[in-house]
Structure 1
Amino acid sequence: MMTCINCQSKDIGKIGTNQYYCWNCCIEFTTAGSKVSSVFQVEEDGSLHSLNDLFCDDCPPPFETNL
C-alpha cells in the first residue's frame, strides 16, 4: 500500500503514469521505481509549486514494505 511522504496518509490517488496525489495534504508526487523523484504542492489555482528541496535529497519510498 502506498503512503504519502508528507503526512503518511493512505488516501492516495493515481493521476498518471508514476504520478500520485494525496487527498489529505494536497501534494502531488512522481515516482521512479520505488523512490520519489519529485514532489509538488498543488496551489488553489491548480498550479504546481516544487517541494523537491524539502523532500528529495533523501526521499523515502512511497510504498510500505513488509520485510
Structure 2
Amino acid sequence: MRCPNCKSKDIGKIGTSQYYCWGCFIELTITDGQLHLHQVEVDGSLSSLDDLFAEEERNIDL
C-alpha cells in the first residue's frame, strides 16, 4: 500500500484497519474498501483530509 498523500510505502499498522504514514504523518483508516485520511492534531484529535482527495484516489482493492 502507498500513501495517497506523499506516495510513501513507509506505512505502519496501528490497529484493525488503521495505519499511519511515517512519510507525512497522517492516519489512514480502511472502511468498506475506501481509505479515510486524517491529520493528527496537537491535542490528539483527528481532522479529516478526505475532501482533499477524489473518491477514486481513496478506493482500494481488497
Structure 1 residues 19-34: aligned runs within 5 Å:
19-32=18-31, 34=33
Give the SS at the match of 1:53: helix
Matched, 1:43 2:46: no
TM-score calculated relative to the size of structure 2: 0.77
Shift of 1:42: 1.1
Q: Look up the match of 1:12.
A: 11
Shift of 1:41: 0.7
Q: Which string of whole-angstrom CA distances, capped at 9 and with x for unpartnered residues, describes residues 4-56 of structure 1?
A: 111110110111110100011011011135431x1101123322111111125
Count of residue correspondences: 61
Task: Give the helix-richer structure, 1 or 2.
Answer: 2
Higher relative contact order, structure no. (Cα contacts within 8 Å, ≥ 6 residues apart): 1
Of all paired residues, the percent bearing the same amino acid is 56
> Gaps spanning 5+ residues in structure 2: where?
none
- Structure 1 runs (4+) deviating above 4 angstroms are none
- Conserved 8 A contact 1:40-1:48: yes
TM-score calculated relative to the size of structure 1: 0.72
